[in-house]
Amino acid sequence: MTIQADIKSLSQWEEYHNRPLVIAGPCSAESEKQVMETAIGLKETGKVDIYRAGIWKPRTRPNSFEGVGSKGLPWLKKVKQETGLPITIEVANTKHVYEALKFGVDILWIGARTTANPFAMQEIAHAIKGADIGVLIKNPVNPDLELWVGAIERIANAGISKIGLVHRGFSTYEKSLYRNLPMWQIPIEMKSRLPEIPMINDPSHIGGAAELLQDISQRAMDLNYDGLMIESHCNPKEAWSDAKQQITPKELGELLSNLILRDPIPHDKAQMNTLEELRQKIDWLDDQLLDIIESRMQIVKSIGEYKKKNNISVLQNSRWEDIIYKSIEKGAKKGLSRQFINDAFKAIHQESINHQMEIMNGKKE
């Protein structure tokens, strides 16, 4: 990675020490009254660190509410003056950045559609060059880790060291419980590549529904995320955007009180030993799993040789369908999800076909 600036971990972001760091506020600023009423409610919870509101809204279809624009900036300034909460807004182009800097916004956030667009990222990076400001970068709408890394590089190379990431899930065409699939493995991989960079979860845009927020937030805490960005509105039912996923400040306070915060690392020798023992058992089982797969491949090879000698084709669909059906049913009885068995057996089957192909043609597929 070619990052020139030193990226600061959250504990180096001066004022932001709480875990979870909580960023909350409405999806969109609608009126001064709505912005202030929500801010006062959030301040009263005593659990919110930063106030968010969208001023310019990237909407999927034209003719939806596209945000109040610059006229909302003085409302946010008032929030800061009256509650002391730092302010963050979404920026998607040069004009947004200049306006935000002029009004003393504390942190900028880059939306998921913008992260996915390298031209826009470059333009934003150019506009913020050298500014002393925090920048939160949401994951791109598509599950592309490199695109996310590229956006970080562009912002870091503009001399910004206070960079945080927001995991808001990934678009899907298929119907799902979630509005955006969390694909937890992507932020987890990002954390292992850039361990210092703060990772914030956005359960509102992942879930798309108020009733899913608690569970998603808890999962994020269990995965040691640094913070949460949650949409909150003084009157969610009447919200001009994302009404289904917004909750009142009071509900947000309750959600945060219900969170169980577990220690990221074991804190004494006994805990370490117990974990170590269990991990050894896992390692031993993993070795066995590999041995079993190896034995399976040996048999697959014998079948390949037999098929070659007798001129029978590699793939026999009915046999495969039989295996997968039986395994899914057996797995379900053992508490293993159908999706998991399907994916795991498909991968094993593909590897078996590759081995047989190698035997029959002398090459891998």
* Residues making contact with ligand PEP (CB under 6 A): 27, 54, 58, 111-112, 138, 168, 205
Residue 111 interacting entry, from Mn ion, ligand PEP, none, C-beta within 5 to 8 Å by type: ligand PEP
**Pick from 171, 192, 175, 199: nearest CA to 183:** 171
Name the minimum Å distance from CB 138 to ligand PEP: 5
Helix (H, G, I), strand (E, B) or coil at 135: strand
Alpha helices in the chain, H assignment, sequence order = 32-45, 73-83, 94-102, 112-115, 118-128, 145-156, 185-193, 203-207, 213-222, 249-258, 269-310, 317-333, 338-361
Buried b (16+ CB within 10 A) or exposed e, 339-360: eebeeebeebeeebbebbbebb
Name the minimum Å distance from CB 141 to ligand PEP: 7
Give the nearer residue to ligand PEP in terms of CB position, either 138 or 233: 138
Name the minimum Å distance from CB 241 to ligand PEP: 7
Name the minimum Å distance from CB 40 to ligand PEP: 21
Name the minimum Å distance from CB 274 to ligand PEP: 39
- Tell me the C-alpha distance between 157 and 151, whole Å: 10
**Phi, psi dihedral angles at 230 (to 5 degrees):** -130, 135
Helix (H, G, I), strand (E, B) or coil at 157: coil
Give the nearer residue to Mn ion in terms of CB position, either 34 or 356: 34
242 lies in the site for Mn ion, by CB under 5 A: yes
Written as six digits, the tokens of 134 are: 């925090």
Give the nearer residue to Mn ion in terms of CB position, either 45 or 246: 246
Site size toward Mn ion (CB under 5 A) is 2
Task: List Cβ neighbours of 357 (8 Å cut-off, separation of 6 or more).
Answer: 314, 363, 364, 365
Name the minimum Å distance from CB 1 to ligand PEP: 23
Tell me if 30 sits within 8 A of 231, measured CB to CB: no
Q: Which residue is nearest to Mn ion (CB)?
A: 27
Among the listed ranges 17-25, 159-167, 239-247, 335-343, the one in contact with Mn ion (CB under 5 A) is 239-247
30 lies in the site for Mn ion, by CB under 5 A: no
27 lies in the site for Mn ion, by CB under 5 A: yes
Give the nearer residue to ligand PEP in terms of CB position, either 112 or 199: 112
Give the nearer residue to ligand PEP in terms of CB position, either 204 or 352: 204
* Binding region for Mn ion (CB under 5 A): 27, 242
